[in-house]
Structures are given as structure tokens and as C-alpha cells.
């Protein structure tokens, strides 16, 4: 869990996805994309391997969260792998609908 601080930048080891931590997790666990742990953005590891078949992927500008741990990530560069924390897939947060104005 070390280093998952608000504003810290991470990248996928299996695709081109890049992420920023909006809210850190409240418990222990590992952030992963496509089944492999995320790397610190400063590390020079290039994306190797590929995302598992059937992955939905991540979309730039969207937030992904896990209700149990409270972790929330912002995707800054789209990728082919799915995000997970402690083995649980993160869910995409959709925009809240605006109230109707009559």
C-alpha cells in the first residue's frame, strides 16, 4: 500500500493506462491493472504483456473507485486493462445527473 497518496501518479505494467490517486485506500491492498500491480509513474518500466481477454479497459477522464476501501483513481490516459484493488475490480463512477429544470 505504500505510496498511494492523493495526487500520486501510477501507470499500468500491461497497457498504456495512467492514473492519479484521488482518494487513498483506507486499508491494505495493492492497486492493479490487467492483473499486474501498478508502477509508480517515475519508474522506467515500459508496458509489457497484454490485458486479459474480456477486459473492459479504462477511459481517460473517468474516475474508478472501490466502495469497500474508499480508494478512488482518475484515469489520465486510457488503457486496455481493468483496475482492481485487493483483488476487487474498481467500478467506474458516472457523472451525477443534474436536476431537471422546468
Whole-prediction pTM value?
0.83
Confidence at residue 27, expressed as pLDDT on a 0 to 100 scale: 87
- Mean pLDDT per 10-residue segment, the chain (102 residues): 85 93 93 93 63 76 95 96 94 88 72
Beta bridge partners of 1: none
Confidence at residue 44, expressed as pLDDT on a 0 to 100 scale: 62
**The C-alpha cell that represents 74 in the structure block:** 482518475
In degrees to the nearest 10, what's the CA dihedral of 7, 11, 12, 15? 130
Confidence at residue 48, expressed as pLDDT on a 0 to 100 scale: 57
Confidence at residue 1, expressed as pLDDT on a 0 to 100 scale: 44
**The C-alpha cell that represents 63 in the structure block:** 474516475
Closest CA to 20 of 46, 40, 48: 40
Confidence at residue 39, expressed as pLDDT on a 0 to 100 scale: 92
Confidence at residue 100, expressed as pLDDT on a 0 to 100 scale: 83
Spatial separation of the C-alpha atoms in residues 69 and 61, rounded to whole Å: 21
Terminal Cα distance for the chain, rounded: 48
Amino acid at each position: 500500500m505504500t505510496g498511494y497518496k492523493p495526487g500520486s501518479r501510477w501507470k499500468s505494467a500491461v497497457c498504456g493506462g495512467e492514473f492519479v490517486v484521488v482518494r487513498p485506500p483506507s486499508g491494505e491492498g495493492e492497486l492493479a491493472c490487467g492483473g499486474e500491480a501498478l508502477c509508480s509513474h517515475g519508474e522506467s518500466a515500459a508496458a509489457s504483456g497484454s490485458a486479459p481477454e474480456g477486459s473492459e479497459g479504462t477511459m481517460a477522464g473517468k474516475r474508478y473507485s472501490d466502495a469497500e476501501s474508499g480508494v478512488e483513481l482518475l484515469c489520465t490516459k486510457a488503457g486496455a486493462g481493468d483496475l482492481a484493488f485487493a483483488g476487487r475490480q474498481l467500478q467506474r463512477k458516472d457523472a451525477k445527473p443534474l436536476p431537471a429544470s422546468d
